[in-house]
Structure 1
Amino acid sequence: MTYSDLLRLIDERATAFRAAVAAAPDLGAQVPTCPEWTLFDLAEHIGEGRRRWAATVAAGPADAPPDRAAWPGPLEAPRERDALLDWLTASTQLLVGALREAGPDRGCWTWWGRSQSPRNSAAVARHQLQQLAVHTYDAQLVVGAAEPLPTEIALDGVDEFLSTCCATTSPWPHEPATVDYHATEGRSWRLSLSADGARSARTNGEGTADASAEGSASELVLFLYGRILMDALKLEGDRRQFDRLIAWDPGV
């Protein structure tokens, strides 16, 4: 996707998130996929997170994220629903505005220093879109209206997760392995695991891996983010590899 596509879709998913918050009968309802959070907690996380990343992008190249004092305010999420929705709107506008002003190639601090994703505004926009997409799904679950992630977002989401959250130079603590992910929309990816770390790549879907998972792109993203169980996917090969991946903390 182009950078302008990412910014457009961030705004679109943020709008869908606010719609779920607006439809909820109770902001104190528990989020099934984030059981430690109420819907208000999730909304607070969304608003604060977008303001934090707006400040991070605006700060440019740095060795550490900006202090909370540098985040654009107000930082406290209002408890009243209409005010909360306005605060969420402003949070998204701050993020999109910072990304638009920075442009795709400007460097900034990120937590994924040893991954395959660059440390720039484009990578931040790409990851922020996925965060909003998955948390919109979380919020929709609260009101009983969960929808699959839009295909355009989900197809990029599988690649983004593997290259940002899985790829690392940290050694894989088990025997070398390959794990394939196949989207029913026609795209495939391979994660190669070894003492040199983990690397992901698009594939043509051919060849045999030690383990593979197949589902819609939305199902793959939701599985990768721990929203659905692996049994929701078509699994082949050694499923222990998925258990090992879930348990692994490579310190990306």
Structure 2
Amino acid sequence: MRVRTWARGTSPGPPPSPRDLTQQLLDALREAGQDRGCWAWWGKSQPPRTCGGAARRQLHETAVHTYDAQLTVGAPQPLPEEVALDSWLSGDGARVARLPSFGTMPAVPTTDEDTDAADATARGMASELVLAFYGRIPLDSLKLGGNRRLFDQLVDWDPEP
């Protein structure tokens, strides 16, 4: 890849632009097909280790880092609704994270009707939920209910110890 060659100092000229790198990634993912297995930087318990999973994860990461850049210049915007909803699994924009009993993970997004069975709930727009669980906004900016320790445990949770 041109970036590695440039980083080693064996490629003349400036490094590839972010736009060129993004296009290279998109081209490679399209050529491979969404169901093809691929190396991934996340554990087995997270999204599938496929080209489609990598593309989705990159989209979510890009959205969150775009928020970071917007925050840096003092103009943060919510994540695009479709991206935030996809990141939070699915829903209508107002979601509830249902956390089962202490010691069991992960959180399971649910509908409002299921909240009676939850030990803790976090309510917010999909963008707020994603940004809170990526550590970009405080958890307290969500409407939290139930056992707060479960949220601290979820934030600290390592799915692949």
TM normalised by structure 1 equals 0.53
Alignment-derived partner of residue 150 in structure 2: 241
1:188-227 equivalences in 2 (<5 Å):
188-192=96-100, 198-199=105-106, 201-207=108-114, 208=116, 209-227=118-136
CA distance in 1, matches of 2:109, 2:66: 27
Letter matched to residue 190 of structure 1: R
1:1-252 equivalences in 2 (<5 Å):
72-75=1-4, 87-159=17-89, 185-192=93-100, 198-199=105-106, 201-207=108-114, 208=116, 209-251=118-160
Deviates more, 1:218-227 or 1:204-213: 204-213
Larger relative contact order, structure 1 or 2 (CA cutoff 8 Å, min sep 6): 1
Letter matched to residue 102 of structure 1: A
SS class of match (2:88)? helix
| Cα distance change on mapping 1:231 and 1:194 into 2, 3 Å | closer
Q: Count residues with an aligned counterpart.
A: 152
Letter matched to residue 243 of structure 1: D
Give yes or no for contact 2:94–2:126 (8 Å, CA) kept in 1: no
CA distance in 2, matches of 1:190, 1:216: 15
Give yes or no for contact 2:120–2:150 (8 Å, CA) kept in 1: yes
Give yes or no for contact 1:189–1:200 (8 Å, CA) kept in 2: yes
TM normalised by structure 2 equals 0.81
CA distance in 1, matches of 2:32, 2:156: 36
